[in-house]
Amino acid sequence: MPEILTVLDVIQRSSVFLDGKGVESARLNAEWLIASALGIDRMKLYMQFDRPLKEAELADMRSKVARRAKREPLQYILGTTPFHELELKVDQRALIPRPETEQLVELALGSLGENDEPYRIVDLGTGSGAIALALAFALPRAAVFAVDASREALELAQENALGCGLQNRVTFVLSDWFSDFGPEGEFDLIVSNPPYLTDEEMESAEPEVKDFEPRSALFAEEAGISDLQTIVRGSYERLKLGGALWLETGVKHREPLLTLCRELGYGQCEGVDDWSDRPRFVKAVK
């Protein structure tokens, strides 16, 4: 007679298995995966610990847990992730949005003033569309442009725009930074979370990052700063007087970027730490 397994049995066994594979927060990961296989909210698992599982349910759970054991990111397995009041589809076409990028959105919004103004905004390297869509959602009269050099990433961003009901609020542009992007008019805000990891940081990254997320969205030449410098240079002539550039950066990039901003003629130039007190963001105002 086959063994009958309950929800709690599978959570416990999966937790031990994932922990042995080096997965951080193994119990929490197991709960998310099993809730996903059952099609229920994770918190509802606690009311169903004694529920016996059918073979079809177990097969789906085993598949998801096996993927996580190979260190595939949890978000890719679940297929979605929350980001700043939105639920976004995520897959290997683009980087998984991070909490620090939510802070970047908050900082950018805080620098604009009134939310009902017809701002002109560009998100460079939009990836999943996270920044552009969050800004469009928060600023109902803004004209938002989402730019990326990856056609696949732009397709994902457009799928997210449709899923969030923002498909008419964002213009998607295939361009390597500013190379093929030349709309008329200047911008109130340019924001970007570009690639900024060095070779050494890529090599030391967790398998979830270096083995699954697109390298083109993570790594940059010249000790991680090359794309950031391109954006700083290209943004100056495209910003309105008083317009702001906000960047997410590597931890060693603040001072060289601030120096470049001042050399180019930006006015207010400052670095801002993230919630973990790491030197993460740079702001420059024209």
The reply to whether 75 falls in a domain is no
Cα 134 to Cα 223: distance, rounded to the nearest angstrom: 30
- Rounded to 10°, the helix 26-38/55-69 angle is 140
Same domain, 205 and 254: yes
> Average of pLDDT values for 123-134?
98
Domain boundary among 51, 70, 89: 70
Identify the pLDDT of residue 113.
Answer: 81
Same domain, 216 and 184: yes
Number of structural domains the chain divides into = 2
169: Cβ–Cβ under 8 A, 6 or more apart, which residues? 136, 142, 144, 161
Condensed to tens digits (0 to 9), the pLDDT of residues 17-46 reads 999 999 999 999 999 999 999 999 999 999
When pLDDT is cut at 50, 70 and 90, the band that residue 64 belongs to is: very high
Same domain, 152 and 243: yes
Same domain, 183 and 119: yes
CATH number where 211 lies: 3.40.50.150
Backbone angles phi, psi at 146, to 5 degrees: -115, 120
Instruction: Supply the range of the domain harboring residue 63.
Output: 7-70
When pLDDT is cut at 50, 70 and 90, the band that residue 184 belongs to is: confident
Same domain, 66 and 85: no
